[in-house]
Amino acid sequence: MNKYLDIAPEVQEALASGRPVVALESTIISHGMPYPQNVETALRVEQTIRDGGAVPATIAIISGRLKAGLSHEEIEHLGRKGREVAKASRRDLPVLVARGADGATTVTTTMIIAAMAGIKVFATGGIGGVHRGAETTMDISADLEELAHTPVMVICAGAKSILDLGLTLEYLETKGVPVIGYGTDELPAFYTRRSGFKVDYRIDTPEELAAAFRAELEMGLGGGMLVTNPIPEEYSMDPDRIDAAIEQALKEASEQGIHGKDTTPFLLARIKDITGGDSLASNIQLVLNNARLAAATARCLTA
């Protein structure tokens, strides 16, 4: 086992006995929502995983240790510190570990630590991707590179609709990452169920998701698999309303010189404010929906 990695006893026992485990990120705790909703949501998502017959493993860096599975106290710690906690991507891990610092894991670093621990399924909200205007800024999320070579299934509600979804799909195709629509032929756009872009394959059951990922692992292809699970219909936001909020938030980010890793937290916070909190409510529901599918898929993968 990696000497920098701590696996929580419950998670270690589940992995050793072949029981299903689902990884969860921690950026949603520190950067995705205000306190105390962030802690409440994190614990609710963990309980959803348990109710689905799997063991949750929320992932973070605590005092320089890579953690696969957090205690309630550690989740509370991240929630209270909020954006004081570093948002940790792949490039940040060596320095945070060497300094004994805390870090909230993105999709990228959650995949890295999950793979170290032997966890194959990961539930999140939405992945990063190619940002709008990337042809001049070169702002492309490290999530896409991680999906290309780290063997973890990522279950999400699509790419965040603040991104250029068409270019994000093109990038994933170039990197050989299969993009699966769960019960849909169309890429979900996080807050909304439709984007106008087609996924590679539609799959309608957790059993088939597990079978496809098992085949990928057994062939030794080396990369991950992206499963896009649409937000439940009753929580889906009006596309015109959310697009208008995104455009306003993007304009403000440009005017204020927001860039790099600060971009997504800024945009999500502004979209929440512009929509009167409706986007946050949708965000919580889509994460819970993804957790349910991840637990079911992890059960099938270990059956």
Q: Tell me the pLDDT of the chain averaged across its residues.
A: 93
The token pair at 116 is: 């170290």
CB neighbourhood size of 176 (10 A): 12
Please answer whether residues 23 and 68 qualify as being in contact, where contact means their C-beta atoms are separated by less than 8 angstroms.
yes
Domain count, the chain: 1
> How distant, in Å, are the alpha carbons of 23, 113, 176, 242, 282 from that of 275?
30, 34, 36, 8, 11
Confidence grade of residue 1 (pLDDT, cut at 50, 70, 90): low
Q: Which amino acid makes up residue 177? A: V
What secondary structure letter does DSSP report for 69? S
* Per-residue buried b or exposed e for 200-238, using 16+ beta carbons within 10 Å of the residue's own CB: eeebeebebbbebbeebeeeeeebbbbbbbbbeeebbbe
pLDDT of residue 247: 82
Q: Is the pLDDT of residue 79 over 90?
A: yes
Lowest mean pLDDT among 13-22, 113-122, 207-216, 280-289: 280-289
Confidence grade of residue 131 (pLDDT, cut at 50, 70, 90): confident
pLDDT of residue 156: 98
The token pair at 98 is: 């060497």
- The closest alpha carbon to 143, from 187, 91, 179, 107, belongs to 107
Specify the CATH number for the domain of residue 59.
3.40.1790.10
- pLDDT tens digits for range 63-75: 999 999 999 999 9
> How distant, in Å, are the alpha carbons of 38, 157, 191, 205, 287 from that of 230?
22, 5, 9, 14, 10
More confident residue, 104 or 260: 104
CA distance 121 to 299: 10
Looking at the annotation, which residues are catalytic?
25, 160
Phi/psi at 88 (5° precision):
-100, 115
Question: Domain range for residue 297?
Answer: 5-302
How big is the CA angle at 213 (ends 208 and 214), to the nearest 5 degrees? 95
pTM for this predicted structure: 0.92
What secondary structure letter does DSSP report for 238? P
Confidence grade of residue 3 (pLDDT, cut at 50, 70, 90): very high
pLDDT of residue 114: 98
Q: What would the mean pLDDT of 114-142 be, rounded to a whole number?
A: 90
Q: Is the pLDDT of residue 228 over 80?
A: yes
Q: Is the pLDDT of residue 147 over 80?
A: yes
- pLDDT tens digits for range 54-63: 999 999 999 9
pLDDT of residue 218: 97
> Count of H helices and E strands in the chain?
13, 11
Percent of the chain with pLDDT over 70: 99
Percent of the chain with pLDDT over 90: 75
Lowest mean pLDDT among 97-106, 109-118, 221-230, 254-263: 254-263
Confidence grade of residue 125 (pLDDT, cut at 50, 70, 90): very high
pLDDT of residue 237: 83
CB neighbourhood size of 257 (10 A): 7
- pLDDT tens digits for range 234-280: 999 888 887 788 888 878 988 898 877 677 778 777 887 887 777 78
pLDDT of residue 64: 98
**Token pair 């945009």: residue:** 267
Q: What would the mean pLDDT of 158-177 be, rounded to a whole number?
A: 91
